[in-house]
Structure 1
Amino acid sequence: MNLLILSVLFIFPALLFSLTNFRSFSLRASYGLLQIGLYVAIVLGLGAMVWTYLNETVSANLLLFGDFGLTLRLDALSSLMYTMIAIIGLVVVRYSRNYLDGEKRHKHFIARLAMTIAFVQLLVISGNLAILFISWVGTSIGLHQLLLFYPDRKKARLAASKKFLIARLGDLTLLSAFILIYLQFGTADLSGIFEQAQSLSRNNPPFNLELAGILLVASACLKSVQLPFHGWLLDVMETPTPVSALLHAGLLNAGPFLILRFSFLIDISTIAPLVLIIVGGLSALFGAITSTTQPSIKTSLAYSSIGHMGFSLMVSGLGVYSASLLHLVAHSFYKAHSFLSSGSLIEKVQTSGADNYRRSNQFGRIVLAFITSSLLYIGVTDFWQTNFEMEFQMLVISGIIFLSILSLHINTLDSNNGVRSITFLLVGSLIVVNCFYFFEHAFAVFLGNQIPAIRTLDEPVQMMVLGLMVLFLFTVLSQSVFLQFKNSLFLKRMEIHFRNGLYINHLMDRFMNSLSLKTSK
C-alpha cells in the first residue's frame, strides 16, 4: 500500500519532467498535459495530507542500490509542501499561457518550467540523502534555464551567472553536510537518520553533527538569498513575470524547507540555531527596511522576499518549526499573487484612491495607535496563553506580529482615513492575530512528532533575541513615527544608502566582473 501511494505521487513529477523531452508536442497539448498533471497532483496531495494526519509516515523504495536509490517519503511536511507546490505551479502555468503568447521560445519555456516544478515536487518527497541532493541541484539547474529565457539581455545573463556561482557553493555545503550525516549515522535513509537523531543529547552533539548542522544552515541561507548572497535576486527582473512568481513563491522556500526537513539535526546543534537567528533576523530587518525605499514594485517585492525568508529561518532558529511552516505557506501564496498582479497594481491604487493617503503626524493619534494595538495584543495573547501554554519563543513571534499591527495602526489612525477604514483595521487586526495563533496551533498538531518540541533557550540567547526585538521596534518606529523628521539630512542619506541596498549587490557585481575579466584573458 505504501509503495502504491508513493508510486502514484511520483508519477506526476515524472510526467512533468518528461515534457522536457517532448518538444514536438504542440503548445496546446503541452499546457493541457501539464495542467491535468497538476490538477491530479493537487487532489492526490490533499488526500495525502489526510492520510499522513490519520496514519504514520509512509516510506517506500522504488529502486534500491545498496543504501541509496529512489526512496520516497510521505509525511505531514512533505504532503503539505507537495500540495502547495502543485497549486502554485498550476497558477503559474495558467498565467504563463497568455503572458508568453507570441514569444519565440514559448515552447522552450514551458519545457523548462515543467522540469523545474518536477524537481521541486521530488525535493519535498525525497526519502534519502541522494535523491534529496539530486533534486536540490535539479531545481537550481531548472531555474538557471528559466533565468536565461532572454539570453540576449545583459542583466539576465548577469543574474544567471551570480545565481550559478552561489548555487554551486550551496551545493558544495549541502553535499559536505550529507557526507558528514552519512558517516555519523551509517545510513542515507531519512527515517533512519531522524530516529537516531532523536536519541542524541542536545547538550553534547557529536562534532560531525555540529558541523553538519552549520553546513545545512549555510546551504539554506545560500538558497534563500540571505545576506550577503542576495544580489542575484535583484537582477532577475529581466525574466518573465511567471518566473519571478515561481521563484519567490516556490524555489526560495527550499532553504526553510531544508531546515524543517532536518529539524531534528538542527535542534541538537548548539551553533546552527544561533546562526539561523542572527543571519535570519538581520536579513529580515534588511529586507523590511530596504523594500520600503524602492521606487520599483518588483524590486520592492524582491527585498520583501529576502526579509520574509530571513524571518522564516529566524523562527526555525528559535525552534518554533510549526510557525516557520505557517509563515512559509502564507508567504508563498501572498508572493505569487503579488508578482502575478504587479502589472495592474498602479491602476488599482489609482482607482481605489490609495494615492490620496496622507499622514498628519499628530502625536495624540500615534499614542492612540500604541494603545489600541497594545490592548489588542495583550487581550488576544492572554486568551491563548490561558488556554495553551506559551513558551518564550512564541511570545517573541507574537511580539513581532504586534509590531506589524502597531505599524498598521499608526499609519491608519494618524491619517486622513475615515471611520470605515479604522473600523475595518481594528476588526481585521483582531482576526489576523487570532488566525496566527489558531493556525500555528493547527500546524503544530498536523505536524505532530515530525518536528521537535520547542526547546528552552539559554538566557544569553534570550537576551540576544530581545536585542533583535529592539531592532525590529526601532525599524517600525523609523517607518511610522519618525516620518516628521524625513527631511533631515541624516534620514535622507540613510534612505539613499538603503535604496541602493547598502551597496552589497554592487560589490558582488564588481566581483563577478573581475571573474569574467580573468576568464577572458
Structure 2
Amino acid sequence: MDSLTSLILCFLFFPLISFFILILFGKKIGHSSHWVSLVLIGLTLIISMMFFSKIFIHPEGLAEKASFLWFSTGHFNVNLGIYIDNTAAIMMLVVALISFLVHLYSIAYMKEDIRYSRYFAFLGLFTFSMNGIVIADSLLMMYVFWELVGLSSYLLIGFWFEKVSAANACKKAFLMNRVGDIGMFIGIMIFFFSVGTFQIEGLINGVSTGAFALNGNLLTAAGILVFMGAVGKSAQFPLHVWLPDAMEGPTPVSALIHAATMVAAGVYMVVRIFPILTPEALT
C-alpha cells in the first residue's frame, strides 16, 4: 500500500474513528468531546487540501486508484476500491471543509445539550458516510455509504427526538430516501447483470464497447432507476417533501444537510455515472 492510498484511507476512516471514540467513551470525555472530533476532522480537511492541490500539479487530470478484494465465489469477485479524480478531489475538499466548519460552530450551539458527545459522534458518522460516497470506485460501495448517509441523517434530524415534530421529520426523511434508494438498488443490479461489474470505470467501458447493445431499453430503465436515488437524496420532486421538515434538527445539522453535502450527494453521483446515462458523452 503506497502513501497516497494510506492518506485516502485516513481521509475516509478518521471521522469513523471519531464516531467510535465518542460512542464508547463520550460520557467520560464529556464536554471535551468536540476536541476529538475537531482534531480528526481537521486532519481529514488537511488531507483533502493535499489532494485538491494535486489538481494543479497534474493539469492532465488527477487519477489515484486502488482496489481490494472483498469476497470471491467461483469466478465471481467483488472488489472495494477508491478512485480520486479531479471531481472527487474537489468534492473531498467541499465535504471536509463544510463538515469542519459545522463541527466548529456546533461547539457553542450545542454546549448546553445533555447528549453533547453523542451529537459529535453522529456528525462523525455522517462525515465518514459522505467521504465514502466521494471516493467510491464502484456503485455497490457507493450504495453502502449512500445508505449510511441516510442512517446518519435520520439520527441527526431526529436528535431532539423528545419533540414529536423532530421524531416525525426524521422518519419522513428516512422513508422518502428509501423510496429513491430502492430504485437505485434495482438499477445498480441491472447494470451489474448486464455488464458483470459494479466498478464505475468498468460500466463506462461496457457502454462504449456495446455491452448494453442487446437491449438499449434496459440501459434506459437502469439509468432512470439509479437516478431515483439522486432524486430522493437531493430532495427533488416528487421526493422533496422531507427537506423542509429536516429543519427540526439542530441548526448546524440543517446547514450540513442543506449545504453542499447530503443534498449534493445525488448530483455528485450523477456526475460520476454521467457517461453511463449519456453514452454520447464518450464521443
Q: For the superposition of Structure 1 and Structure 2, which TM-score range results when normalised by the shorter chain?
A: 0.7 to 0.9
Secondary structure at 2:236 match in 1: coil
Per the TM alignment, residue 82 of structure 1 is displaced from its structure 2 partner at its CA by: 0.8
Rg comparison, structure with higher value: 1
Per-residue deviation at 1:41?
A: 2.3
Contact 1:187 1:193 in 2 (8 A): yes
2:98 aligns with: 88
Q: Does 2:64 align with 1:58?
A: yes
Secondary structure of 1:262's counterpart equals helix
Identity between Structure 1 and Structure 2 (%):
24
The CA RMSD measured in Å over matched residues stands at 2.4
**Shift in Å at residue 240 of structure 1?**
0.8
2:27 matches 1:33:
no
2:274 maps to a residue whose letter is S
Q: How is 1:82-161 mapped onto 2 (pairs within 5 angstroms)?
A: 82-161=92-171
The 3-state SS of whatever aligns with 1:94 is: helix
Q: Deviations over 1:40-97 (max 9, x none)?
A: 3223223223435615522102443233233111111111101110000000000000
Distance in 2 between the 1:201 and 1:267 partners? 14
Alignment correspondent of 1:43: 46
Paired position in structure 2 for 1:341: none
Cα distance in 2, alignment partners of residues 158 and 42 from structure 1: 33
Instruction: Between the two structures, name the one with larger relative contact order (CA 8 Å, sep ≥ 6).
Output: 2
Larger helix share, 1 or 2: 1
Cα distance in 1 between the residues matched to 2:15 and 2:92: 14
Residue 10 (structure 2) pairs with residue 11 (structure 1) = yes
- What amino acid is the match of 2:267? P
Structure 1 residue 21, shift from structure 2 partner: 2.2
Q: Distance in 1 between matches of 2:238 and 2:190?
A: 26
Residue identity in the other structure for 2:262: L
SS at match of 1:226: coil
Q: 1:212-251 counterparts in 2 under 5 A?
A: 212-249=222-259, 250-251=261-262
- Equivalent residues of 2:154, 2:174 under 8 A apart: yes
Structure 1: give runs of 5+ residues left out of the alignment. 270-451, 456-521
CA distance in 2 between counterparts of 1:36 and 1:15 reads 9
What is the CA–CA distance in structure 1 between the aligned matches of 2:80 and 2:44, rounded to whole Å? 19
Q: TM-score, normalised by structure 1?
A: 0.49
Deviation of 1:152 (Å): 1.3
* Partner residue in 1 for 2:265: 254
Write out aligned runs for 1:355-370 (5 A).
none
- Contact 1:220/1:255 (8 A) holds in 2: yes
Q: Within 2, Cα distance between the matches of 1:121 and 1:78?
A: 10
Q: How many aligned positions are there? A: 271
Counterpart CA distance in 1 for 2:177 and 2:118 is 22
* Cα distance in 1, alignment partners of residues 196 and 115 from structure 2: 46
Q: Which residue of 1 aligns with 2:276?
A: 265
Q: Aligned partners of 1:126 and 1:196: how far apart in 2?
A: 19
SS at match of 1:16: helix
**In structure 2, how many angstroms separate the alpha carbons of the residues matched to 1:244 and 1:82?**
20
Taking structure 1 as reference, are residues 216 and 4 closer, same or farther at Cα in structure 2, changes over 3 Å only?
same
User: What residue ranges of structure 2 are gaps of 5+ in the alignment?
Assistant: none
For the 8 Å contact 1:52–1:58, the answer to whether it is kept is no
The Cα shift of 1:205 comes to 6.7
Between the aligned partners of 1:21 and 1:199, the Cα distance in structure 2 is: 44
In structure 1, give the amino acid aligned to 2:21.
F
Amino acid at match of 1:58: E
1:127 CA drift (Å):
1.2
CA–CA separation in structure 1 for the residues paired with 2:241 and 2:186: 25
CA spacing shift, 1:44–1:187, aligned 2, 3 Å: same
Select the structure that is richer in strand. 2
